[in-house]
Structure 1
Amino acid sequence: MRKVIVYSSVHHGNTEKLVKSIAEECQVDLIDAVKQPDADLSSYDTIGFASGIYFSKFHQSILGFAEKNLPDDKGVFLICTYGGSANYKSIEQILGKKHSTAIGKFGCKGYDTFGPFKLVGGIAKGHPDEKDIKNAVEFVKGL
């Protein structure tokens, strides 16, 4: 069963830290949506989308990638890192248009220095930590 994670990790590398650990332990291919905005996903059985949360949405590069490249009727899992709270609505709307189903969701805190958080040195310092990474790997293994 072939799995891929399409990810975007823009500010502090929080999401990239998670997906690289997952790829090492779970034999999952990785596609960086910023560096490779087009890819054929049709040969994958399961597709993951991973992103930090920006203004309550997945990163625009992920949303654009999914809109353009996600084949219809695929099982999809979602991973996010966040300073405030997890929010999957933006990507779930695209899944609905593509007749795809979210087969699982994982979220964890990620170091965040956006906007006013910068004034206090950021929030969720040290995240994702080893426990977060272990939980992300277990999430993907359990799919």
Structure 2
Amino acid sequence: MADKPLIAAAVAARSKAYAPYSRFLVGAAVKDETGAIHAGCNVENAAYPQGTCAEAGAVAAMVLAGGRKIVEAAVVGAGEGLVTPCGGCRQKLREFGSPGLAIHVCDETGMVKKSFTLEELLPSSFGPENLA
């Protein structure tokens, strides 16, 4: 079952997205090892595609706040298709999350369309333990 405050934070973050070029708003939120929730939104740039993804913003907010482990994540976007994290963001989530990390993909209202584990989205991933 997805954490309701986590999804609410991702929905709220989506409303703050800066996407004047694609008009594709995305919000994300991660819950850290202390239970704190950190959110981010996509931010586009005129030097397209030099913007940042919502997941990257949420991870950066977590790190800034002192979090070092993601225990649950949510991504919110509109449209018929699933708005899953891009490849780069899957790796960013992997840096701080285990293969079993739950990632909830939601529509713009916060309704969960599908939940995945990080292993399902990024199979046989390379993580920090590979460098130990």
Q: TM-score range by the shorter chain?
A: 0.3 to 0.5
If the length of structure 2 is used for normalisation, what is the TM-score?
Answer: 0.40
Larger Rg: 1
Q: Which structure has more helix as a fraction of its residues?
A: 1
Higher RCO (CA-CA < 8 Å; seq separation 6+): 1
